[in-house]
Amino acid sequence: MTGDGAEDQRIVTGIVSGQKELFRVLVNRHEQAVYGMGLSFFRNAEDAADFTQEVFLKAYHSLSNFEGRSRFSTWLYKIAYNTALNGVSRRKEYQSLAEGELVPDRHTPEHAVLRSAAKEAVADAVKELPDKYRICVDLFFFYDRSYQEIEAITGYPVNTIKSHVFRAKKLLRQKLAAYSEEG
């Protein structure tokens, strides 16, 4: 998620004080990241869009409960994560951002082919990780969340998160080493 924590706090204070129109600013700042999480869990644009709307509705209705002890983005991610877990338990399994489409490469055709092959290898390796490892890896590497923020979002203890990330990296190294030996 993007956005400066102090600025988000100022906006939240304004919304709670009655400046409801400021909520649009928070949505604009964090919508892409929440939508990305929705794509990871639900694997299609329509469900991700519905998820994003649901998360922001929940956040809006709970805004007065935001105490500012964590960054707004961490609080919002906790809502998103719990909403996604509830939705995914009714639908499908989690899909890592590594499995989705990233920004297209604008380099040479050869570089694009190599990048595509590497991206596919990473996505395949990440797909094979247990869900509990994948969510920690995604939040840590793709969403740039700290261990403490991941703890606040997932409820996993920090040492468990560190262990999941460590084990995931080890598994990915092994898988990708085998891939590089093949190709």
pLDDT tens, position by position, 167-183: 988 888 887 776 655 55
- The overall average pLDDT reported for the chain is 81
Instruction: Supply 135's token pair.
Output: 């969510």
Tell whether 171 and 131 lie within a shared domain: yes
- Contact indicator for 72, 122 with CB cutoff of 8 Å: no
Q: Which of 65, 95, 125 is the last residue of a domain?
A: 95
Tell whether 51 and 130 lie within a shared domain: no
Q: How many domains does the chain have?
A: 2
Tell whether 74 and 131 lie within a shared domain: no
Whether the predicted pLDDT of 155 surpasses 50: yes
pTM (2 d.p.): 0.61
121: region left, alpha or beta (phi > 0 left; psi from -120 to 50 alpha): alpha
* Mean pLDDT of the 50-63 span: 93
Most confident segment among 12-21, 35-44, 135-144: 12-21
Range of the domain at 55: 1-95
Whether the predicted pLDDT of 140 surpasses 70: yes
* Lowest mean pLDDT segment, chosen from 13-22, 114-123, 153-162: 114-123
Tell whether 155 and 86 lie within a shared domain: no
Length in residues, the chain: 183
The per-residue pLDDT for 116 is 67
Tell whether 151 and 169 lie within a shared domain: yes
Tell whether 173 and 120 lie within a shared domain: yes
Tell whether 81 and 115 lie within a shared domain: no
Whether the predicted pLDDT of 85 surpasses 50: yes
Instruction: Give burial (CB, 10 Å; 0-12/13-18/19+) of 109.
Output: exposed
Whether the predicted pLDDT of 12 surpasses 80: yes
Instruction: Supply 73's token pair.
Output: 């983005």
Q: Which of 33, 62, 95 is the last residue of a domain?
A: 95
Q: Which of 95, 121, 155 is the last residue of a domain?
A: 95
Whether the predicted pLDDT of 106 surpasses 70: no
Whether the predicted pLDDT of 103 surpasses 60: no
* Mean pLDDT of the 2-16 span: 83
- Cα(157)–Cα(53) distance, rounded to whole angstroms? 29
